[in-house]
A and B are shown apart, each in its own frame.
Chain A
Amino acid sequence: MKKTILIPTDFTVQSLNVLKTVLANNTTNLQFDIVLLHGVSLSDSIRDLLFYSKAKQIASLTNPEFEEAFEVIKNKFDSQINSMRIDLFTGYNQAAFNNYLEGNRVEQIVMTNQKLRLTNSKSFNLETFIEKSNVDVFVINAGEVATLPEKGKLAEVFFNHAQVG
């Protein structure tokens, strides 16, 4: 059994908590195709568009801690993950988003009730699109956010514990 899920991300270790929770609470032998989606608007400059590369933009948005944590989770839940990728959504309207969901055959969207922290000025929040979409949305309670000494570091991924429900 395979299932494609979409998780909005802001490239912080904290945002991977959703992913960890989903995978940790999966008791069936379901295999996931995971899309970590980040909303970012395209540049207006024609030159930028000419040399636009999605991989390059993703590389500029991520940070080593995020990538390490991403790999740690991937290694932990190896058997449950069929594929996992980071993608950018560059559309402007609901139709584009619905189209994206349909094109990628997304069956479920998983998100937290916690606000994403968008550090890049071009990034935008996907929440409004997600709310209006016709795909099943599953919200995870992020719990209380304590100030931890390891804030922003890889270590954070080990100590995030969210509840399902």
Chain B
Amino acid sequence: MPIKTMKRQSRTILLLLIPFLIVIFSFSIFIYYSVSNYSENYFFKLLEARAFKVAKEQLDNEEVVDRNVLDKLSFSEKLPHEKDFFIPIDDAIDLTFEAQRIGIPENFLRNVVKNNSDEYVSERYLYKGINYQSKSGKFIVITAAENYFQLNQAENLIQTLLFAIVASILLLLYIALYFSKNIFKPISIITEQVKEISSENLHLRLKDTNRSDELNELASTFNDMLDRIETSFETQNNFISNASHELRTPLTAIIGEADVALSKPRKPEDYIESLYIILHEAEKLDNKTKALLFLAQTGFNGKVQKFDKVRIDQLLWDVKENLESLNAKNKIHLDMELLPENPMKLKVNGNQQLLHLAFSNIISNGCKYSDYDTVVVSIGASDDFVYVVIRDKGIGIPENEIKYIYDPFFRASNTKNYEGYGIGLPLTRNIIRMHNGKMMVTSLENQGTTVQITLPVWQP
């Protein structure tokens, strides 16, 4: 763990440092060269002006009276270590000899003759040569002076820049260290906390810091995910135990009944009675397995079912007829008060059998839990959705249990006197979900339950 942290930290530091170093180095180099270039140019100008002045004084014996030039440049004084050379240009000129005498390359003199002026930089001196037309003939005038910048200021500038670089690196190093530590601290904390959570302690959650930043978002996303995992874990656990229990009850009855019947010879009537009981229990078992099978089929996102245009009002009339023929006590009132005038708005894209199953499930539940009081089924439609609202005045669902109603085999605490397996609602919800619909159950205990089903309208 510490090695990993180190790695991550040093990577951040490097990431911060490298671009900064590149920038600051290129800046320093740029500053150094621009300053040195500028001062050299300036110095050469000074030298040129000096050369003219010296030439005028020496060769023409003339005082310079041009006030303007004097004002502009303070070259009336001698420059530090200034040396002036005058070479008359005549037939006897020997450039090689003169160059050796002054200590400059011969090329420099040739260039002066050819281009009227040239510059040359030696280690200590800067040379400026010009052609000068005096009264007594043509001259090459060379002024040399010590490279003031190179000797006095360059070193100072380099030192200052180096010092600035070192100081800023140290400062940045400190900042980078601080940042890398503090940026990754919450992540390390989250990692630690997540590591602690395993299948045994799924109830643990990450700490929320109430700040609205990305890390808190990460933590809450983790928590949401843990919520879902925990629920599905529990559902799975409950499902298995409930399923085995539900399936075992009729099996135990069958085995017990058969055992008793076989314990001694009996009269045929007794056998018949036993067989009836066994048959009844086996049928129950069959119903349960069928329901389970259906639940599994609808739970998968299988594409087996064929979808078609279904008219909801027609479907509900079918359901009503079917349920009333199954049990004469069922009273279902279809409320058409808000039926839309345009029948196209009642069509949904769905599977007739599945929707029939879903609606009969809910409506028969309503009949059952309201002791066969009237169940009101209302239909309405907006432009995009068809709404079916099923309302009963039955026993309702206790408020704290309403979140479990979609768990397979869950049965609310007040349903002891009613027969059921607890598969109907999850199955219905699966079916509605397959149709991209929504199902909403609201209930008040002992006052009734309202189920609102929203299905998208069929789009041509």
Q: Is the CB of B444 within 8 A of A149?
A: yes
The 0/1 profile, CB within 8 Å of B marked 1, for residues 45-87 of chain A is 0000000000000000000000010011111111100000000
Q: Once the chains bind, are B442 and A75 in contact (CB under 8 Å)? A: no
Total residues of chain A contacting the partner, CB 8 A: 23
Whether A155 and B337, one on each chain, are in contact in the complex, defined by CB atoms closer than 8 angstroms, is no
Write the chain A residue with the least CB distance to B340.
Answer: A75
Annotate B417-460 by CB proximity to A: 1 below 8 A, 0 otherwise: 00000000000000000000000101110011110100000000
B391 / chain A contacts, CB cutoff of 8 Å: 149-150, 155, 158-159
Which of B378, B447, B450 is close to A147, meaning CB atoms less than 8 Å apart? Answer: B447
- A77 adjacent to B341 (CB under 8 Å): yes
Binary interface encoding of chain B residues 380-411 relative to chain A, with 1 for a CB under 8 A from any of its CBs, else 0: 11110101010100001000000000000000
Mark contacts of A81-95 with chain B using CB atoms, 8 A cut-off: 1 yes-contact digit, 0 otherwise.
Answer: 000000000000000
User: Are B444 and A153 in contact, CB atoms less than 8 angstroms apart?
Assistant: no
Is A24 part of the contact surface with B, judged by Cβ < 8 Å?
A: yes
Q: Is the CB of B442 within 8 A of A72?
A: no
Complex: how many Å from CA A78 to CA B382?
A: 11
Question: Bound complex: CA of A72 vs CA of B336, how far in Å?
Answer: 12
Contact with B along A145-164 (1 / 0, CB 8 A): 00111110111011100000
State whether A148 touches B387 (Cβ < 8 A). no
**A75-B452 contact, Cβ under 8 Å, with A149-B442, A158-B378:** no
A78→B342 CA distance, assembly (Å)? 8
Given contacts A72-B387, A147-B444, contact A157 B338 (CB under 8 A): yes
Do A154 and B339 form a contact, CB below 8 Å, given A68-B382, A149-B447? no
Q: Is B335 an interface residue (CB 8 A)?
A: yes
- Chain A neighbourhood of B452, CB < 8 A: 150, 153-155
> B338-367, CB under 8 A of A: which get 1 and which 0?
111110010000000000000000000000
User: Which residues of chain B come closer than 8 Å to A155, judged between CB atoms?
Assistant: 378, 387, 389, 391, 442, 450, 452
CB A20 to nearest CB in B, in angstroms, measures 8
Mark out the residues of chain A between 118 and 139 whose CB falls within 8 Å of any chain B CB in the assembled complex. none
Closest A residue by C-beta to B452: A155
Give, as a whole number of angstroms, the nearest-CB distance from B380 to chain A.
Answer: 4
Query: How many angstroms from the CA of A20 to the CA of B448 in the assembled complex?
Result: 24
Closest CB in chain A relative to B388 CB, distance in Å = 10
Asked if B450 and A75 make an inter-chain contact with CB atoms under 8 angstroms apart, the answer reads: no
Q: A153-B440, A154-B387, A155-B450 are in contact. Are A72 and B381 (CB under 8 A)?
A: yes
Q: How far is the CA of A66 from the CA of B449 in the complex (A)?
A: 21
By beta carbon, the residue of chain B nearest A151 is B442
Q: How far is the CA of A157 from the CA of B338 in the complex (A)?
A: 9
Q: A13–B52 Cα gap in the complex (Å)?
A: 100
Among A75, A150, A153, contact of B381 (Cβ-Cβ < 8 Å): A75
5 contacts between A and B (CB under 8 A): A68-B382, A68-B385, A72-B338, A76-B341, A155-B387
List 7 other contacts, CB 8 Å, given A72-B382, A75-B383, A153-B442: A72-B387, A150-B450, A153-B450, A153-B452, A155-B378, A158-B378, A158-B391
Binding site for A on B (CB under 8 A): 335, 337-342, 345, 376, 378, 380-383, 385, 387, 389, 391, 396, 440, 442-444, 447-450, 452
List the 10 shortest-distance A-B pairs measured between CB atoms, nearest first. Answer: A71-B382, A75-B340, A158-B378, A72-B380, A150-B450, A155-B389, A78-B341, A149-B444, A149-B442, A76-B338
